[in-house]
Amino acid sequence: MVSRFPVLFGGICLSLLVLAALFAPWLATADPTTMDLPNRLLGPGPGHLLGQDALGRDIFSRILYGSRVSLYVGVVTVTVSVLLGTLIGAIAGYRGGWVDEALMRLVDVFLAFPGILLAIALTAVLGPSLNNVVLALCIMGWVGYARIVRGQVLLARELSWVEAARATGCSARRVLLRHILPNVMAPVLVEATFGMAGAIVAEAGLSFLGLGTQPPTPSWGAMLAEGSDYILFSSHLTIWPGVAILLTVLGINLLGDALRDRMQGTGRGGVLNNNAT
């Protein structure tokens, strides 16, 4: 029961995100961009479940619509990064030799840019917009998947059934697509789960800095940035978008952890812990 709780909680959080994104127009209690200046910064009350922001817009409705941005960034970034990373990793691992060497040096260069820095630099030069954020996140996102797939392909290509497939005259493409990749994608799936959480946080971070989603489109990161400006008077502007990000990321991380544990199995500490109890 205890071990099922994280998966259940994670599943509920992710379902809420998807439902909010899909049904935002029906669930929202107000238009997310309609301003109501006389009632700006008003706290939670009738008609405005979570209060109103600095321009009098309904925070609850903006959070609902903001989930669309987060889901879009998470899904598109992970899909493109997985496809690109798998392609590059599979070619490097299967071909080996100078192709592998060159591609892995390219990976090293990308790894020399820490986390969000490359995305910040790219959105700074390309211009602030949601699509440029996705582009920047994809440019830096493929690297992790490429490394995993390469490692897995290196191991798999020596296995007997892959040898057998090659011996029966299968082309390199067929061996990779039909025999190797379907069997090595489990760790990629785990990484993709964490990648989705990372992409959602990165978009919110870039929007917090003013480099991501542009007004009036609601984005959780941009809402937090606005909240920081009014933190002395109206804390509800800061609290609720943050709760939305936390629940989303926590839910995805819980599912990722559960997926990884299921695939790898977990250690329990052996004799030292048995003696401890």
Identify which of residues 90 and 140 has a Cβ nearer to other proteins in the complex: 140
Helices of type H across the chain: 4-27, 59-95, 97-111, 117-126, 130-156, 160-167, 172-174, 181-184, 186-208, 220-229, 236-264, 270-276
Rounded to whole angstroms, the Cα distance separating 180 from 53 reads: 52
Check binding of 87 to other proteins (CB under 8 A): no
- With a CB cutoff of 8 Å and minimum separation 6, the contacts of 194 are 252, 253, 256
CB atoms within 10 A of CB 120: 16
Give the one residue of 24, 138, 153, 204 binding other proteins; rule: CB under 8 A. Answer: 204
Check binding of 16 to other proteins (CB under 8 A): no
Check binding of 7 to other proteins (CB under 8 A): no
Check binding of 254 to other proteins (CB under 8 A): yes
- With a CB cutoff of 8 Å and minimum separation 6, the contacts of 14 are 248, 251, 252, 255
Token representation of residue 16: 């809420």
Give the one residue of 1, 4, 112, 160 binding other proteins; rule: CB under 8 A. Answer: 112
Give the one residue of 72, 227, 258, 259 binding other proteins; rule: CB under 8 A. Answer: 227
Check binding of 167 to other proteins (CB under 8 A): no
Binding residues with other proteins: total (CB under 8 A): 58
CB 242 to other proteins: min, Å: 4
Question: 41 — alpha (psi -120 to 50), left (phi > 0) or beta?
Answer: left
For the segment 256-275, give every residue that binds other proteins (CB under 8 A): 257, 266-273, 275
Check binding of 199 to other proteins (CB under 8 A): no
Which listed range, 15-23, 46-54, 169-177, 229-237, lies at the site for other proteins (CB under 8 A)?
Answer: 229-237
Identify which of residues 116 and 153 has a Cβ nearer to other proteins in the complex: 116
Check binding of 17 to other proteins (CB under 8 A): no
Check binding of 239 to other proteins (CB under 8 A): yes
Closest CA to 55 of 85, 73, 76, 33: 33
Give the one residue of 109, 158, 160, 167 binding other proteins; rule: CB under 8 A. Answer: 109
Give the one residue of 37, 172, 246, 263 binding other proteins; rule: CB under 8 A. Answer: 246
Residue 224's identity, in one-letter code, is: L
- With a CB cutoff of 8 Å and minimum separation 6, the contacts of 252 are 10, 13, 14, 74, 193, 194, 196, 197, 200
Give the one residue of 32, 74, 205, 212 binding other proteins; rule: CB under 8 A. Answer: 205
